[in-house]
Every structure is written in C-alpha cells, then in structure tokens.
Structure 1
Amino acid sequence: MIRLESIGKQNGKQIVFIEASATLMRGEKVGLVGPNGAGKTTLFRMITGEEQPDEGQVSIDRGTSIGYFSQDVGDMSGKPVVAEVMNGAGPVSELMAEMAELEAAMADPDRADEMDEIITRYGEVQGRFQELDGYSLDGRAREVLAGLGFSQEMMDGDVGALSGGWKMRVALARILLMKPDVLLLDEPSNHLDLESLIWLESFLKSYSGALLMTSHDREFMNRIVNKIIEIDAGNLTSYTGDYDFYQGQREITDRNQQAQFERQQAMLAKEIAFIERFKARASHAAQVQSRVKKLDKIDRVEPPKRRQTVAFEFRPAPRSGEDIVLVKGVDKAYGSRTIYDGLDFHVRRRERWCILGVNGAGKSTLLKLVAGTADPDAGTVSRGPSVKMGYFAQHAMDVIDGDDTVFQALESAFPQAGQAPLRALAGCFGFSGDDIEKKCRVLSGGEKARLAMALILFDPPNFLVLDEPTNHLDIQTKQMLIEALSAFEGTMLFVSHDRHFLAALSNRVLELTPDGVHTYGGGYTEYVQSTGQEAPGLRS
C-alpha cells in the first residue's frame, strides 16, 4: 500500500534519513520506534504529503485513504462534540454537508427553476450516503466517543469547553470514525485513562485497515502490532513481531555486532603490529605490502550504536515508622458531587498502593488529601511523624520556572549539593551536554516530567506520592524509572494508566467504584487475576 523507497531527508544540519526504505502492506499493524528526534513525525508527514523527501520517493497505491492523528489538534469550538467528530469523518461527512445544502436549496423559492437538477443531485448524494452507512453516523460517532470516555452530556456539549486532553480524544475519535484504509497514529495512548486505553486497544486489534503508530506504552504496543519499523541513525529496519520481540532481536543483533567488531579489531591490531614491526626490513617488503593492501580492502565493522540510557540509584532514605498515612472518616465533595463519604484507608511502611478508578472516581483527589494540598470536608488525614514525602502531581511541571536553565532549576532546589552531583543527577534523567543549559520553557513535556522527577528524587523521600508519573515519558525512560523505583526502599502511593508500570511496582490495589472502596492484598497482576478485568470501568 505504502512504500518508502531510498528516502533521503535533511532538516537544517540534521540528517534524518539516508537511503531509507520500508513498506506498509494491507492489514499490517506496525509500531514505529526510535529515540526522540529520530524522525518519526517527519515520516508521518512525508506519507501524508505535508513534507517531501529530498531524495527517493513515497509511493501510495491509488485510491488509498489515510487518516492521520497527531498531537497538534488545531482549534475546536462552536460545535457539539458529536458534530465535531462527524464533521471529520471523511467522504460521508462531506456528503452529509452537501445533503444539508441541497435540502436548503429545495426549500428556497428563488431556486424553483433549478429544482429538477437539485432533486436529481440530491438523489445521487443520498444514494451514496446510504452506501456509506451515513444514517448510522451519529450512532457510530457516539459509540466511539463513549469508548474514549465521553458521557452523553459531554458529547452534546460545546467542544470548545473541553480541556486540551479531551480535545485530543475528539481528534482521535474523528480519525477512528473515518475508518480510512491506513491509520497513522502519533502517540494515540497519551491523555487516555485505563478504560479508554483498553477500548482503543480492542478497536485497533479488530480494525481491518493498515496501521502505523508510535506509542510510549509498551503493553499497548505489544498487544496491537505485528511488525516494528525502527528509525536509527537515518536508517529504517523492519522486525516481524511485537515490541518485546523487537527488543530481544535488537539485543541479539547488538551482541553479535559487538563480538564481530571486537574480533575484527583484534585481527586489525595483529596485522598493524606486523606491518609496524617489519616495514623497515627489505626481506619482508612483499609481505608488508600484501598486508597493507589487504587492510585497505577490508570492510570495517562498526560497533553497535549505543542508545543513550539513563540509570538512577536512590541514596538511602531515612527509615520511617510503620504507620505512613491514616485516613479516617474522610468526606470530600466538589459542589453537589460527592467524592468520598466516610473513607477509611491505612498505608503502612513498604506498601506500594496503586489506585484504580474511572474518570472522576477521586484518584487524584485522594493523592492531594494525602499530600496535604487539599483538605477533607470532614474526617482526618494524618502522616506518621518520621515520614518524608515526595509528591509528583500532574501539574508538577507547571511550577518549574521557565526562565531557569535545567541546571539552575536543580541548583536552586539543592544549593548545597555542588556541581558534580547535580550534573550527574541531570545525566541520569537524560540531560547531558548542552541539554543542561536549556531554558525550562523550551523543554518538551517528557523533558519537564524528567526534570520534575529529578527534583523529587535527589533528596530521597521515604514516601512517594505519584500522580501519573509516566505521562510524556518514552519507553526507555519509563523502564529506567521502573528499575529505580523497584529498588526504592520506601513506601509508594500512585496513580498510573500504564499497565507495565502498575504490574511492575504495586503490591496493593485500592479500587474506587460507585458501590464503594475495595482493597486487594496483591499487586495489579493479582487484581487482574482476581477480578477478570484490567480496569474497574470494565467490570460487569
């Protein structure tokens, strides 16, 4: 369907692609991977025609329809959400708009002399509209929106009143309703809660068209894709299998290449030593010349490209007492909406609680109550006397001073630390070289999240309260965080929609449901086994 043939592309001084080739076949579901800045978005834009390659060509089969979801959703306002979604549904929405115009024309007495042509055209348009199942469009739009977490009230409300995250869901719904031959999805799992993520996963698994997507959610990628295309140093390499298979194959390839490189280096060293030893002796001149020619002809093996990996080790945190948090008889409401009514909850040392619940169940509210940034309407929330808390809120990135550089932000938080430890800390969280001098205002969402996490973890707490800590983090940084938190000796209370993160770190589950609060003694994996569902909103 889509072929990238010997693509070359340069953005300014950066070479993005060098004679890169790949194909997307009918029905394939492909994950596009590569480090930040490797060219994933550029590749999408070349397929849609928004950008052109400098060399080579992008070939797309005639008549192939393409739907592209990007993080740039544009302006939305003045329409109900459901109308905004239907308006972007491709040919069927265009036919619907033309039918409305023709209906208005039929009711216009000034156009009576055109009536035969208008009625004929209306019949043609209506016939095509029926072929495309247009009369079910409203119902299908509402079904997609419901899957992405919209209530009926939200569907009929003004799209302009929604937050940026919900507008992202509207943009995604438009593309899904369109049902093109090829779906290009750039981070579709961002801004989704667990229930919506699982619904989207099911939708894409049963989708009959071709799919090319990026995602920072490893579990989501594993369950959908059957092929990986990797962008690395300007090349495109295809692997048949899911993300875990790709990662395993990549490690094997790197090990083999490293071994081949080392064998060749040993051989070269031996040959060069011989040449150096005997080059001045006339008796060995022929042998020396022969070996020089041999070295000139050898194809040099390159060592495997080193991916920038970050690792963070916690310094020992002060030990807390056994009781970390005690929530007793807590009531909390926002206006007429009751969030908690007599909530009791006890967190003990070394417990790692993940909180599950549908949108609006009160997950972030509970974290705020525990962190002390919100007060209960009734009841008490108390922390143990030796508890030292680190709190990562969803807005943690917003309080970083945009005029500071990354290093200045760290230095102002830890003025006694000294340059070397702070530079090491920055490096652990992916800020190396000139990155440490970047102004915070120009940082990407992922970079801000990493900086906010560094500010929390440098002076080690013994109790971590984390609200969606993996949002904006790529797969490699998430893995670093999981490995660091796995070695954390303290206590954790957290909310996340990343199932890999939940399964790796939790040993307790607090489930918030309309019929009350439920606790589970095992972690997320045991919760799934116990309930038969991956999220509270999916339980019957």
Structure 2
Amino acid sequence: MIRLDNIGKQHGQQILFIEASAALHKGEKVGLVGPNGAGKTTLFRMMTGQEYPDEGQVSIDRGVTIGYFSQDVGEMDGRSAVSEVMDGAGPVSTVAAEMKHLEAAMGDPDQADNMEKLVERYGVVQGRFEELGGYALEGRAREILAGLGFSEEMMDGDVGKLSGGWKMRVALARILLMRPDAMFLDEPSNHLDLESLIWLEGFLKGYEGALLMTSHDREFMNRIVTKVVEIDGGSLTTYSGNYDFYEGQRAQNEAQQQAQYERQQAMLAKEIKFIERFKARASHAAQVQSRVKKLEKIEKVEPPKRRSTVLFEFQPPPRSGDDVVNLKNVSKGYGKRTIYDGLDFLVRRAERWCVMGVNGAGKSTLLKLVTGTTQPDEGTVALGGSVKMGYFAQHAMDLLDGEKTVFEQLSDAFPRAGQGSLRALAGCFGFSGDEVEKKCRVLSGGEKARLVMAQMLYDPPNFLVLDEPTNHLDMGTKEMLITALSRYEGTMLFVSHDRHFLGALSNRVLELTPDGIHKYGGGYTEYVARTGQEAPGLRS
C-alpha cells in the first residue's frame, strides 16, 4: 500500500534519514519506535504529503485513503463535539449543520412568518441527510465519543469550551469515524484514561485497514501491533512481532554485534602489534606489507549504538510511623455533586496503593485530600508521625520558573548539593550534556515532568503521592522510573492509566465505583485476576 524507498531527509544540520526503506501493507498493524527527535513525526508528515523527502520517494497505491491523527489538533470552536467528529466524514457534516440551524429557526417565535419555507427546506435537507447515511453516521460518531469518555452533554456542547486533552479526543474520534484504508496515529494514548484506552485498544484490534502508530504505552503497543519499525541513526529497521519481541530481538542483535566488534578489535590489536614489532626488520618486510594490506581491506564492525538510560538510585528515605495517613468519615462535594460521603481509608507504611475509578469518580480529589491541597467538608485527614510527603501532580509543572535553566532549577532547590551530583541527577532524568542549560519555558511536557520528578526524588520523601506520573514520559524514562520506584522503600499512593506501571508497582488497589468503594489486598495484577476486568466497569 505505502512504500518508503531509499529516503533521505535533513532538518538544518540534523540528518534524520539516510537511504531508509520500509513498507506498510494492507491490514498490517505497525508500531513506529525510536528515541525522541529521531524523526517519527517527520516520517508521518512525509507519508501524508505534508513534507517531502530530500532523496528517494514515498509511494502510495492509487485510491488509498489516509487518516492522520497528530498532537497538533488545530482550532475547534462554535460547534458541538458530534458535529466536529462528523466533519471528518465529508459533506454529511455540512448537511447536519444546516439541519441543526433549521431546527433552531423552527423553534424561534420570531421566525413564525417564515415557518412554511423553513419546514419545506428542512424536508429537503433531511432527505439529503438520510441519503448520505447521516443518522447511522451520527450514531457511530456518538458511539466513538462515548468510548473515548464523552457524556451526552459533552457531545452536544461547544467543543471550544473543552480542555486541550478533550479536544485531542475529538480529533482522534474524527479519524476513527473515517475508517480510512490506512490510519496514522501519533501518540493516540496520550490524554486517555484507562477506560478509554482499553476501548480504543478494542476498536483498533477490530479495524481492518493498515495502522501505523507511535505510543509511549508499552501494554497498549504490545496488544495491537504485530510488527515494529525502528528509526535509529537515520535508518529504518523492521521487526516482526509486538513491542516486547522487538525489545528482546534488539537486545540480542546488540549482544551479537558487541561480540563481533570485540572479536574484531582483539584480532586488529594482534595484527597491529605484529606490524609494530617487525616493521623495522627486512626479513619480515613481506609479511608486514601483507598484513598492512589485509587490515586496509577489512570491513570494520561498528560497536552497537547504546541507548543512554541512566538508572536513578534512591537515597533511603527516613522511616515514617506505621500509620502514614488516616481519613476518617470524610465527606467531599463540589456544588450539588457528592464525591465522598463518610469515607474511611488508612494507608500504612510500605503499602503501595493504586487508585482506580472512572472519570469523575474522585481519584484526583482523594489525592488532594491526602496532600492537604483541598479540605474535606466533613471528617478528618491526619498524617502519621514522621511522615515526609512528596506530591507529583500535573499543576506542579506550572510552578517551574520559565527563566531558569534546568540546572539552575535543581541547584536552587538543593543549594548544598555539588555540581557533579546535580548533573548526574539531571542525566538520570534525560538531561545530559548541554540539555541542562535549556530554559524551563522551552521544555516539552515530558521534559517538565521529568524535571519535577527529579526535584522530588533527589531528597526522597517517605510518602509519595503521584497523580498520573507517567503522562508525557517516553518508554525509556518510564522504565527508569519503574525500576527506581520498585526499589523505593517508602509508601506510595498513586493514580495512573499505564497498566505496566500499575502492575509493576502496586500492592494494594482502591477501587472507586458508583456502588461504593472497594479495597483489594494485592496489586493491580491480582485485581485483574480477581475481578476479570482491567478497569472499573470494563470486562477484559
């Protein structure tokens, strides 16, 4: 369907692709992987004709329709979410918009004199809407939006009033409704909660077209893709299998290449030693010359490219008392809406609670109650003895000083720490070399999250409260964080939609449902096994 033949592409001084080739065939589900800045988005843009390769060509079979979801969703304003989604389906959305306009006009007393014309026009427009399959399309649009977490009220409300994350879901819904021959999805799992993520997983499994996608969610990628294309050092390498298979295969290839490289280096050292030893002796001149020529002809084996991931080692946190936080008879509401009514919840030392619940169930509210950023309407929240708390929330990223560099932000937070120690800390969280001189205002969402996390974990608290800590983080940083937190000796309370993170780190589950609050001894993996569901209200 779509082929990349010997493409070359350069942005300024940065070479992204050199004679790179790959193909996307009908019905394939392919994961696109590579380090940040390797050129994943550029590849999508070349395959959709928004950019062109400097060399080589991108070939697309005639008649193939493409849907492309990117993080840049553009302006959305003045229409309902349903209309915006249907807009991706072409002319039917224009007809739907006119129908809505006519319906409003027919209900307007000031338009009574035009009623006959309005009704006549409405009949014509409605007929056209039916012809184009509009009613079925609107039903499908609503089904997709519901799957992505929209209520009926949100579907019919002004899309311009939604947050950036919800607008992303609208843009994604447009592509899903299109059902093109080939779908390109750049980070579709960003901004989705666990329930929406699982719904999208099911949708994409049932999608019969070709799929090329990037995602920082390992479990999501594993369950959907059957092939992986890796961008590394300007080339494209294809692996058959899911993400776990790719990672294993890549490690095996690296080990083989390293062994080849070491064998060749040992042989070269031996030859060079011989040449150096006998080059001045006339009796060995022919042998020396022969070996020099042999070395010139040898094709050098390169050492494998190392992905720089530095492990972060926690300092042991101070020990807290056995009761870390105790909520007694807590009630909390917003306006007429009750979130908690008489909640009792005790967190004990070394427990790692993950909080599960659908959108609006009160997950973030619970974390705010525990951290004291919001107060209960009734009841008490008491921290235990010697508890030193660290709280990571999305708003924490807004507290960074935009004019400070990464290094200045860290050195201001820890004035007594040595330069080497802070540079090592920055390196663990992905800021190596000159990247520590970046101003905070130019950092991406992921970079800000990493910096806030670095600040929090350098002098570790004994009670970590984390609200979606893996949002914006790439797979490498997530793995580093999981490894570090698995060795952490303190207590944890966290919300996450990343199933790999949930399974690796939790040993208790607090489930918030409309039927009440349920507590499970055992982590997320045991919760799935016992309930038969991966998120509240969903069957796996």
1:145/1:122 CA distance change after superposition, 3 Å: closer
* Residue equivalent to 2:439: 439
Q: Distance in 2 between matches of 1:134 and 1:277?
A: 85
Q: Distance in 1 between matches of 2:209 and 2:310?
A: 37
Instruction: Provide Cα deviations, 1:126-153, integer angstroms capped at 9, x if missing partner.
Output: 59x85x7443111000000000000001
Aligned partner of 1:193: which letter?
A: D
Q: Distance in 2 between matches of 1:264 and 1:91?
A: 64
Q: Distance in 2 between matches of 1:100 and 1:418?
A: 65
* Residue equivalent to 1:472: 472
Instruction: Provide Cα deviations, 1:304-356, integer angstroms capped at 9, x if missing partner.
Output: 00101121010011111100000000000011111000000000000000000
Q: Distance in 1 between matches of 2:466 and 2:167?
A: 25
* Residue equivalent to 1:20: 20
Q: Distance in 2 between matches of 1:94 and 1:38?
A: 39
Q: Distance in 1 between matches of 2:535 and 2:254?
A: 37
Secondary structure of 1:307 counterpart: coil
* Residue equivalent to 1:261: 261
Q: Distance in 1 between matches of 2:246 and 2:207?
A: 23
Q: How does 1:70-469 map onto structure 2 within 5 Å?
A: 70-90=70-90, 93=93, 130=131, 133-469=133-469
Aligned partner of 1:174: which letter?
A: R
**Is 1:53 matched up with 2:17?**
no
Deviation at 1:486, TM superposition (A): 0.3
CA contact 2:95–2:125 (8 Å) conserved in 1: no
CA contact 2:73–2:167 (8 Å) conserved in 1: yes
Q: Distance in 2 between matches of 1:152 and 1:59?
A: 42
TM-score using structure 1 length = 0.94
Q: Distance in 2 between matches of 1:436 and 1:22?
A: 35
Q: Distance in 2 between matches of 1:46 and 1:138?
A: 32
* Residue equivalent to 1:113: none
Aligned partner of 1:494: which letter?
A: F
Aligned partner of 2:65: which letter?
A: S
Q: Distance in 2 between matches of 1:211 and 1:94?
A: 28
Instruction: Provide Cα deviations, 1:189-248, integer angstroms capped at 9, x if missing partner.
Output: 000000000000000001000000000000000000000000001000000000000000
Q: Distance in 2 between matches of 1:100 and 1:220?
A: 38
Deviation at 1:423, TM superposition (A): 1.1
Aligned partner of 1:44: which letter?
A: F
Deviation at 1:97, TM superposition (A): 7.6
Deviation at 1:281, TM superposition (A): 1.1
* Residue equivalent to 2:35: 35
CA contact 1:222–1:244 (8 Å) conserved in 2: yes
Q: How many residues matched?
A: 521
TM-score using structure 2 length = 0.94
* Residue equivalent to 2:118: none
Aligned partner of 1:252: which letter?
A: Q
Aligned partner of 2:155: which letter?
A: M
Deviation at 1:279, TM superposition (A): 1.0
Aligned partner of 1:43: which letter?
A: L
Aligned partner of 2:257: which letter?
A: Q
Secondary structure of 2:53 counterpart: coil
Instruction: Provide Cα deviations, 1:128-180, integer angstroms capped at 9, x if missing partner.
Output: x85x7443111000000000000001100000110000000000000100110
Deviation at 1:96, TM superposition (A): 6.4
* Residue equivalent to 1:109: none
* Residue equivalent to 2:116: none
1:79/1:378 CA distance change after superposition, 3 Å: same
Deviation at 1:283, TM superposition (A): 1.1
CA contact 1:90–1:178 (8 Å) conserved in 2: no
Q: Distance in 2 between matches of 1:332 and 1:444?
A: 34
Aligned partner of 2:29: which letter?
A: K
Instruction: Provide Cα deviations, 1:416-438, integer angstroms capped at 9, x if missing partner.
Output: 11212111111111111100000
Q: Distance in 1 between matches of 2:292 and 2:245?
A: 42
Secondary structure of 1:253 counterpart: helix
Q: Distance in 2 between matches of 1:181 and 1:96?
A: 25
Deviation at 1:282, TM superposition (A): 1.2
Secondary structure of 2:320 counterpart: coil
Q: Distance in 2 between matches of 1:505 and 1:407?
A: 30
CA contact 1:410–1:455 (8 Å) conserved in 2: yes
Q: Distance in 1 between matches of 2:293 and 2:209?
A: 54
Aligned partner of 2:214: which letter?
A: T
Deviation at 1:390, TM superposition (A): 0.7
* Residue equivalent to 2:10: 10
1:98/1:153 CA distance change after superposition, 3 Å: closer
1:393/1:97 CA distance change after superposition, 3 Å: closer
Q: Which sections of structure 1, spanning at least 5 residues, go unmatched?
A: 102-117
Secondary structure of 2:412 counterpart: helix
CA contact 2:187–2:215 (8 Å) conserved in 1: yes
Q: Distance in 1 between matches of 2:294 and 2:302?
A: 18
| RMSD of aligned alpha carbons | 2.1
Secondary structure of 1:538 counterpart: coil
Secondary structure of 2:537 counterpart: helix
CA contact 1:99–1:126 (8 Å) conserved in 2: no
1:79/1:92 CA distance change after superposition, 3 Å: closer
1:176/1:262 CA distance change after superposition, 3 Å: same
Instruction: Provide Cα deviations, 1:391-446, integer angstroms capped at 9, x if missing partner.
Output: 00121111111111001100111111121211111111111110000000001111
CA contact 1:229–1:239 (8 Å) conserved in 2: yes
Deviation at 1:92, TM superposition (A): 5.2
Percent identity over paired residues:
77
Q: Distance in 2 between matches of 1:512 and 1:315?
A: 33
1:383/1:100 CA distance change after superposition, 3 Å: closer
